Amino acid sequence: MGVNIAKLTQRTDLWPWLLLTPLAVYMAIFFVVPLADVAIMSFTEPSPTLSNYERVLTGGLYLRTFLNTFVTAITVTLCCLFVGYPLAYLMASSKPRTAMLILLLVTMSFWTSFLVRTYAWMVLLGNNGPVVWLLQTIGMERPPQLLFTRFSSTLAMVHILAPYMIMNIYSVMRKIDPTLIRSAESLGARGFSLFRHVYLPLTAPGIANGSVLVFVICLGFYVTPVLLGSPREQMIAGLIGNQIDEFLAFGMGSAMAMVLLVVTLAILAIYHRRFGLDKLWG
């Protein structure tokens, strides 16, 4: 028997490698090589120099786009936090049944395609949409242009990415031991001070998880900024897309993609060293 069990679990050291090989080969051919291709093109297209990086890292348009991307990603992350924290709290402090219903709604939003949600915001914020109508009803004669601005794309991204934040914070809040809160109260912590010194630190891991995830996704966001944002204030992914399908400038596109990739991986690497990457999506 003992031998049999050992057979099933261990066999030889070769067994795990045998199981892993098909995937490893596949990932090498269809993940690593295309990525390496981007890296190579960034140096060699159209001619083998560093000129792509020179342009990307010094040109006004590119720097402005990088800056804009960062500012947008930070704004979206903060807004998601502002939106996600209260909702997670509402869930954690409601009856199980109510919490379940809210979680159901958040899950539905999470699973609904980015495109569908982006389109929905187009309807909501359009010139003949409900928001403009509401603004007119409350007396604003000429409501501002909402669609195709930085405002509309930021708002839609907050809506699209909020579920990541909510689920991360909620999963931490749910596990908080209520006796901790009660003992803090019995020691005299009230109101804001209770929140600031007890509740907030306890929920910090969820905030960190959610924020990293939202920030990183936002950095490379393509669909929503392209469809809803202002063409004059692009984000980096949109600009990369332009280089490829409008100008066929693979060198420039690749150099920008490499910058985006390096920044993204650097953030995730820092996160990985502190918490472990598998926690982020788990």
Partner 1 sequence: MNRFLRWLGIAVLVFIAAPLVIVIPMSFSEARSLQFPPPGYWLGYYTAYFTDPNWLRPTWNSILIASATTVLTMALVVPATFALVRHRFRGKGIADLMMLMPLAVPHIVMAVGYYSYFGSFGIVHTHLGVILAHSCLSVPIAFLVLSANLKGFDRTLERAALSLGASPTKTFIHVTLPILRPGLIISALFAFVQSFDETVVAIFISGRGAETLPRKMFDSIRQEADPVIAVISTLLFLAVILGVTAPLLISRIRSRRTRIAAT
Which residues from 163-192 bind partner 1, rule CB under 8 A? Answer: 163, 191-192
Please tell me whether residue 242 binds partner 1 under the rule CB under 8 A.
no
Query: Judged by CB under 8 A, how many residues of this single chain contact partner 1?
Result: 98
Choose, by CB under 8 A, the member of 63, 74, 123, 204 that binds partner 1. Answer: 123
- Please count the CA atoms within 13 angstroms of the CA of 196 that sit on its side-chain side: 5
Among 27, 67, 180, 270, binds partner 1 (CB under 8 A): 27
If binding is defined by CB under 8 A, does position 204 make contact with partner 1? Answer: no
Region from 136-144, 170-178, 202-210, 241-249 binding partner 1, contact rule CB under 8 A:
241-249
Secondary element (H or E) of residue 139:
none
By CB under 8 A, tell whether 264 contacts partner 1. Answer: yes
16 binds partner 1, rule: CB under 8 A: yes
Which residues, 43 to 82, sit near partner 1 by CB under 8 A?
none
Among 78, 122, 189, 202, binds partner 1 (CB under 8 A): 122
Angle formed at CA 275 by CA 21 and CA 161, multiple of 5 degrees: 90
Task: Establish if 143 lies at the interface with partner 1 (CB under 8 A).
Answer: no
Q: Considering only residues 37, 48, 61, 174, which one is a binding residue for partner 1 as defined by CB under 8 A?
A: 37
Question: Residues 119, 148, 151, 275: which binds partner 1 (CB under 8 A)?
Answer: 119
Residues 6 or more apart whose Cβ sits within 8 Å of residue 197: 184, 189
